[in-house]
Structure 1
Amino acid sequence: MKQVAFGTTGTLLPSIVLGCMRMNSADDPVKVLQTAVNNGITFFDHADIYGQGECEKIFAKSLAKTSIKREDLFIQSKCGIVPGEMYDFSKEHIIEAVNGSLKRLRTDYLDSLLLHRPDALMDPEEVAAAFDELKAQGKVRHFGVSNHSPLQVKLLQNVVEQPLEANQLQFGLMHSGMVDEGLNVNRGKEQISQRDEGVLDFSRLENMTVQAWSPYQASLVKEVFIANKRFPELNQKLDELAEKYQTTPTGLASAWILRHPANMQVIAGTMNTQRIEEIAQASEIQLSRKDWYQLYLAAGNHLP
């Protein structure tokens, strides 16, 4: 399993993360958990809203049925979304959310806590106060964000004492805006939107780990692009190169992300044990520069 440095911590962690959003739909969550660990995936990503908290409970219950030690895992959760109502980065909500996750996960601490989608009413001082309290109490070891722009990160970093180690962002072959933006500098507005504000290069400069979520999803149709008849050119290239690298299209789509020098992590949300193995085994594949660009072009992108 390829390892990547987690933010500024200097700690090396698996490049593949198991996303636990669908754990409440797993046929055998114990087997899922054991398969992940057996294949070097010891990093697990949660959120307080996944299954309305049920996914964290199932994870804890499943872990208790294995011989896996809590201290051998890196458990991350997210908070800040009140589904259908609002985003809430108030001190009270953050602390309450963390306490709820700790109870459901049956653990004394989170290795990492991310603020979920940005809160328009965020007060950085409140966030800082919450982080200080959680850190002092030993309930959270590291902090980060999810779906935040560079300016939103800077606004937090200006006040928050702890380093923001990660930013969880959607990225993959068919959601490559962060790369498109960099390739189309100084082009007309019709060629590129600057909506990502250079978040990929910013993350590299700040030593923030980019965690790629929904890596196999097509942006517009909101469905998996692998083996999807809507995308024949991309799948033809995936099949061709998967044979070359002795992997599967899913493994190759993962390797495409990990080939980027930003040292990203891939969040694989599958509960299929065979796919977990495929993705884990593909983590060490090093795509050639030419093959990386061939896949990028096959996904419908263009080079200026």
Structure 2
Amino acid sequence: MANGHGRLIYGCMGLGGSWDGTSYGAAEIDQAAAVIDAARGIGVELFDHADIYRSGKSEAVFGEVLARSQGLRENIKLQTKCGIRLGERGLDTHYDLSREAILERVNGSLKRLQTDYVDLLLLHRPDPLMDPHEVAAAVGQLMAEGKVRQLGVSNMSGAQIAFLQDELETPIVANQLEMSLLRRDWVESTVLVNHPEGRGYSFPHGTVEYCVANGVELQAYGSLAQGRFTGAQSAELSLAESATADKLAELAAEKNTTPESVLLGWLMKHPAGISPVVGTTNPARIQACADAAGVAAGMSRAEWYGLWVSARGNNIP
């Protein structure tokens, strides 16, 4: 029940300027336009947002580009997230998946994005106070109004998705998790069952398997590992990270491509059909990801395992 090699998604968290309440201007709008062009240039169709990114400014500058670019909205797909509240009610952070909050936040996102609908809404974090009946009511209303076309989640385990799905009339079609060659808990958990080393990894075993078995797309945020393997200063790297950066560069040279494409290709080689979310705002680095799917298709089992073992710094059991 594999899902192929996934697809590249562009993550818009870096757009819109600072995270504080200051306003954005022409420079931030122009940056968003350049990034959208670069992403579309490598075949990206889906753009990932959240209501909290840059205090709403990521959505707002994207909306400005949509407003001035005739026909763009019809040629791309948008997803946004809700469920995290920042700096409200005396708390730095809390979660809110109540019916009222979902409706309020989605309507705010639509206004900032200057669009009538999002193709996909993700519930950003598990809320311990969540009532699945309330979520179902909110999602049902938004879909009936044409404001949301599909539903997904983020940072949820397979068990949490199953619990929520029982109350929903619409299928959960995506789960966004941190997954990369740097953040490897999702793959380590598959081989460290009944092994002492497994206690060092918190990823809930069975989540990847649940998503594959139920047709839930796995979206990988942090997929470029913040440049740890493809551009960070060597003095900042551990021995394993430095060795892996060298290995990625060697493979890229052999395959006549870029280290970024090899790094993402490693994720996309996995039979779960992982879709990397690329968040860099550098158009040249976006372009460097263009060959990822092709690299995944051509990557050998030995190359895949070689990168994994290099990154973990010791052999697998």
- TM superposition score normalised by structure 2: 0.86
Are 2:265 and 1:265 aligned? no
RMSD: 2.0
* Aligned counterparts of 2:276 and 2:80: Cα–Cα separation in 1: 16
Residue identity (%): 39
Decide whether the 8 Å contact of 2:151 with 2:174 is kept in 1: yes
Are 2:7 and 1:15 aligned? yes
Q: How far is the alpha carbon of 1:117 from its aligned partner?
A: 1.1
Decide whether the 8 Å contact of 1:257 with 1:266 is kept in 2: yes
| 3-state SS in 1 of match to 2:288 | helix
* Aligned counterparts of 2:263 and 2:161: Cα–Cα separation in 1: 28
Decide whether the 8 Å contact of 2:142 with 2:148 is kept in 1: yes
| 3-state SS in 2 of match to 1:227 | coil
| 3-state SS in 2 of match to 1:303 | coil
Aligned to 1:187: 195
Decide whether the 8 Å contact of 2:5 with 2:268 is kept in 1: no
* Aligned counterparts of 1:43 and 1:158: Cα–Cα separation in 2: 27
* Aligned counterparts of 1:259 and 1:190: Cα–Cα separation in 2: 23
Are 2:127 and 1:114 aligned? no
* Aligned counterparts of 1:232 and 1:85: Cα–Cα separation in 2: 35
- 224, 227, 232: which is aligned to 2:231? 227
Q: How many residues align?
A: 291
Once the two structures are overlaid, the 10-residue window that deviates more, 177-186 or 88-97, is 177-186
Q: Within 5 A, what are the aligned runs for 1:119-138?
A: 119-138=127-146
Aligned to 2:20: none
Unaligned 5+ residue runs, structure 1?
6-11
Aligned to 2:152: 144
* Aligned counterparts of 1:163 and 1:53: Cα–Cα separation in 2: 27
Q: Which has the higher helix share?
A: 2
| 3-state SS in 2 of match to 1:99 | helix
* Aligned counterparts of 2:291 and 2:68: Cα–Cα separation in 1: 25
Q: CA offsets, 1:172-217, max 9 Å, x none? A: 0011111111112222366654642321111111110000001122
Unaligned 5+ residue runs, structure 2?
18-27, 87-91
* Aligned counterparts of 1:79 and 1:280: Cα–Cα separation in 2: 29
Aligned to 2:307: 295
- 190, 196, 216: which is aligned to 1:208? 216
Q: Give the direction of change, closer, same or farther, for the CA distance of 1:195–1:232 in structure 2 (3 Å limit).
A: closer
* Aligned counterparts of 2:251 and 2:70: Cα–Cα separation in 1: 38
Aligned to 2:56: 53
Aligned to 1:28: 31
- TM superposition score normalised by structure 1: 0.90
The structure 1 segments of at least 4 consecutive aligned residues displaced by more than 6 Å after TM superposition are none
| 3-state SS in 2 of match to 1:185 | coil
Decide whether the 8 Å contact of 2:81 with 2:121 is kept in 1: yes
Decide whether the 8 Å contact of 1:14 with 1:40 is kept in 2: no
Decide whether the 8 Å contact of 1:14 with 1:43 is kept in 2: no
